[in-house]
Structure formats: C-alpha cells, structure tokens
Structure 1
Amino acid sequence: MPSVSSVTVSESNGLTFLDVSNAFASARISLFGGHILSFIPNSDGKERLWVSPHAYLNGERPIRGGIPVCWPWFSDDHGREKGALPAHGFLRTQVWKLINSAETENSTTITLSPSFTRAEGFENDCSVTMIIAVGKTMEVSLITENTGVAPIEFNCALHTYFHVDDIQNTQINGIEGQYKDKLDDWGLKETPHPYTITGETDRIHLVPVKTAEIEVDGTIYTEVISKGNDSLVVWNPWQSAASISDMDPFGYKHMLCVETSLTQGKTLAPGESFALEQIIVPR
C-alpha cells in the first residue's frame, strides 16, 4: 500500500490504479502495464495525456493511450517475423509492483517494477525500474540494469500519447535532421518545417532530440524533454484510426504521439545501468 497521503488505490474491472493528487497536479497510473493514464497540472487543469475512449481497461489487451512502456524492443524489432512476438515487448501486458512512494515539497514519487524481465525473445538477467515524479512537471525514468555476467542489448521507449485540441492546428517545434519513414519503406527523409501533421504519420527521427514543443493554435501547450534517447518517434494514425479496434475513428484528431525512444540499440555491460527519461512540462 502507498505510504503517503497524496497516493490512493482504486480498483476497476480487475485492474489496480494509483491516483496521485498533490498541490501541483493529479495523475493516474495503472499497475497493469506500469501505465500512466493521466497528468493534469493544477496550474491550468488541462489533461496532457490522451487515452482512447475505447481502450481496454480490463487487462485483456495493452492500454491504448497514456504512456505505454516499450521494452526490450521497439515495435517489431525483435529479430523474428512480424507478429511472432508481442509488439513493443512484454512489459506493457503484465502487472507491475509498487516498490515505493514518497513525498517531497515539490512532488510525489512512485517507484514501480514489472513482475518479470525474462521472456521469449529476451532471456537475459536484468532488472527494470520506473520512477514517476508528479509535481509541476511529470518526470518519468525507465531504468534498466544488467544484473547478469554477460552484456545485454535492448531498445525501449516511452510511447507517450499527448492530448491536443485539434491535430490540424498543431505544430511540433525543435526537431531537426533526418527520419525513417515507416509508411514509405523506411526511406530517409528530412524533417519538415513547419512540422505539422496533415496525414498518417509514423516517423523515427534519428537524432537525440532533447527538447520538443507541442504548439496548439499558435501557443506552446506542452514541452517534451528527453534524456538518454537516441531518437524521437512521431506517430498519428490519421484516418487509419478507423481500422484500429480500440480507437475511435476520429480519435486521431485529438492525439499526437511524441515518443522518447531508444531504437538504435543499447548495450549494457554487467553491472551497468541506463535510464531513459521523459519530462512533460506544461506551458
């Protein structure tokens, strides 16, 4: 059970949720998937994350929206045929454990770990910990430690779905360089300027972007700070949302994925640890 007054526990449809409410913000975290579902700063009362109204919130499938945890591979980059192993790894479909909760004058901190880190496709000795700090910002750290005697290699991502009022009036600032276009045979292309979303988009930006801004109706709405990443993924299904069973056909109008990602492979020596971090800054 949480040891601090700013965290309460609730249950629904067999899932356990941690609800955070402090002087700065509120947040909701599902222990299924170690999945952050909501972050609402008290400064403006506006939700920064998007969860599909058709998301499975019963443990049957990964949750669509919020911040899914991708580990130890991204997408279907697991070395086998597509579909042979779960997309984005196996952490987002297991129940995580609450390791610790704590309060400071600036935030409430939740520490979680998955039930297991060895499964088909990744049979290495390691530990994974996620630390979530809810304050004026939301800071999420996904920490991998090699606890074995041999090097390990992995990828990971914080696959964040941001809420936007209208995707057609949304612009992303701060991304430069080339990206791989998944929708065009992984072709290399240059980042557009201005960076607007005008159709189905699935891009892996191959530079370690540290700060990106989501601008809505000409105003900076959310700043996304990334640490430890080697890439940044931008995704919106556009009208293909109609073919996704747990999305509303028009849900794409109100969401934009900007994902702090490690997609080019990270090797950890025995005893070494690595943190992938994303900080969501309301503006």
Structure 2
Amino acid sequence: MSAGATCRELSFAGLPATELQLPGGDRVVVAHHGAHVLSWVAQGRERLYLSPNSVMDGRAAIRGGIPVCFPQFNQRGDLPKHGFARKLSWHVKPARLEGDQAHLVLSLNDSAATRQWWDQAFEALLLIELTPGALQVELAVRNTDSQVLRFTGALHTYFAVSDVAQARLLGLGGSAEWNAVTDRHATAAPELRFVGEFDRVYSAAPMGYELLDGPHALSIEQDMDWAQTVVWNPGAVKCAGLSDMPADGWQHMLCVEAAQVYEPICIAPGDFWQGAQRLSVV
C-alpha cells in the first residue's frame, strides 16, 4: 500500500484523465474534457453514476459523473444548453499531494472557441479535494474583462443509487420548490421520494442534505453562493428518449445539483466568485 496519496495520468474510454488515489483506496478520476469528474470511489463503493452509453469523443458532453454547467444553466439564455465549459478541454495543473489528501485544479480561459458563443474574458477553475470518505468540488470564476461578468450554472452531480424508487433525500423540508414538470410552486416535503420523472428547483438549504440509498448514506452540502439546489431524475419515459442513457439508467441515478438557476451571479471586473459542493460518506 502506498505511503501517501498518488496521482497518475490515464486514458478513460479514450479520453485523457487524471486519477488521484489515497492510501486507503479512495480515488477520483477527472477527465480533462469538461473538467468532468467521472468517478469517485469512497470506502470501496462507486458513489457517482456514469452512463455506459455516454459519448466519449472529446466533443460531446459526458452523461453522468459531475458535469460543470457554465456559463448558463439549461436553456435559460442564448448559449448552448448548460453552457460550453463541459464540451471543451481544460488545462490541468500539477496535483498537490499531502499524505491522505489530494488536490487537483483544472482551468479554462476565454479563447476563440468560447468567444464564438460568449464575448467575455474570464478564467474558470475547478478545484477538487479528495480526503478519506469525502470529495469537495469547487467552481471559481474570475472576471478578467472590463465589463461585468454574468453567469448561471451548476455542479450537475449524478449520484449512483441501487434503486431510485427506494432512495430518499432529506434536508430540503420547508424550502421553496418549483416543480418544472408541472410548473407548480410549493414548499418542499421533509423527505423526497422518486416516482416517475422528477425535476425540481429548491432554495438551497444551509444545513445540507442526506441521500439515503438502502444501507448507504451520503451527506451533500453546498456553499450558499449557489442559491438553488436542483433535484432531477428523468424517469422511464424521458430516459428512453436519451440516446446516451440505457433504458434502465434512470433507476440507478439521482442528480442533486448545486446550482444558480433564476438570477445570474454578477462579478465586477477584476473580481472573482467561488462556490463548492461537498460530498461525504455518512
């Protein structure tokens, strides 16, 4: 067994990727394409869902893991759905390894590729911290332009569950809820259960959430710099229409996203913003 954390470069389904591994066996794999977290193994169990049908061609967005949605959430604007960051190659900085901790930073700057969609100078960083039983993923955005930078987005985390019909999500009780399937506003129940298509936006709860999957439990926290939490499962019908998902894929995943949906985050010239999602085994 290694005396400390390790880092290695590898090819994941043909995509360049970086793997961080701790002495106890926990590991995370991050594709350079999209700065996309593909896998997080904690205490011997894969905690993220990655579709086996995902397109890994270095151009399309990857289905599953943790996509970085930036600088637009969904289709709420003129940019490509969920922005362009998840479809571009990010620069990988040297990993920082400290005993049973490992840190990785990937960066994306404005370029001819980004300016075809968005006339904005910026630097985006994805900061990944792996510790025993825990993973923190943080998006940081610096405005390197002379104009105000405005963006929406999300850390669109796909969690692996044995059976979504048996999964429960706690911690959102009392939060404002918008049901995107029925276009109805309500107050969230203390315990969320999942039958059929589920697509709802909540006011973020500062105390965080707990995802219960049979005997397994994960704590999910987010910085309140992300104003909303999105919970999504496509259900059987919508999943059948997704070419990059198997027909039964919806049964084995649940997205719980740190998000900015309604109002854009505004960053003054020369200033920066950052917001993290923290996942830990309970």
Q: Sequence identity, in percent?
A: 27
- 1:40-86 deviations in Å (ceiling 9; x for gaps): 11xx30111000111112224211000000000100111x3xxxx32
**For residues 99-114 of structure 1, what are the structure 2 equivalents within 5 Å?**
99-114=93-108
- Distance between the aligned counterparts of 1:135 and 1:193, measured in 2? 30
Give the stretch that moved more between structures: 175-184 or 118-127. 118-127
Aligned positions of 1:4-153 closer than 5 A? 6-11=6-11, 14-24=14-24, 25-41=26-42, 44-78=43-77, 80=78, 85-114=79-108, 116=110, 118-136=114-132, 137-153=134-150
Q: Does residue 214 of structure 1 match 2:211?
A: yes
* 8 Å CA contact retained: 1:52, 1:248: yes
Offset, 1:188: 1.2
Deviations 1:192-228 (A, max 9, x none): 34311111011111235441110122x4511111012
- The structure-2 alpha-carbon separation of the partners of 1:103 and 1:141, relative to structure 1 and needing over 3 Å to count, comes to same
Name the CA distance, whole Å, in 2 between partners of 1:13 and 1:206: 37
Give 1:179's aligned residue: 177
Note the residue ranges of structure 2 that are not aligned, 5 or more in a row.
Answer: none
User: CA distance change for structure 1 residues 210 and 261 in 2, over 3 Å: closer, same or farther?
Assistant: farther
Q: How many residues align?
A: 271
Displacement of 1:128: 0.5
TM-score by structure 2 length?
A: 0.91
Distance 1:135 1:95, change over 3 A: same
Please name the residue that 1:236 is paired with.
Answer: 233
**SS at 2:119 equivalent:** coil
**CA RMSD for the aligned pairs?**
1.8
Deviations, residues 222-276 of structure 1 (Å, cap 9, x unaligned): 1111012100000000112111000011111110000011222111112211112
Give, as a single letter, the amino acid of the residue that structure 2 aligns with 1:35. Answer: H
Aligned residues of 2:233 and 2:254 also touching (Cα < 8 A): yes
Please give the per-residue CA displacement for 1:25-52, whole angstroms capped at 9, x wherever unaligned: 11111111110011111xx301110001
Matches within 5 A, 1:183-202: 183-185=181-183, 187-202=184-199
* TM-score normalised by L of structure 1: 0.90
After TM superposition, where is structure 1 displaced by more than 3 Å over at least 4 residues in a row?
Answer: 115-118, 207-210
Displacement after TM superposition at 1:156 (Å): 1.8
CA drift of 1:104 comes to 1.3
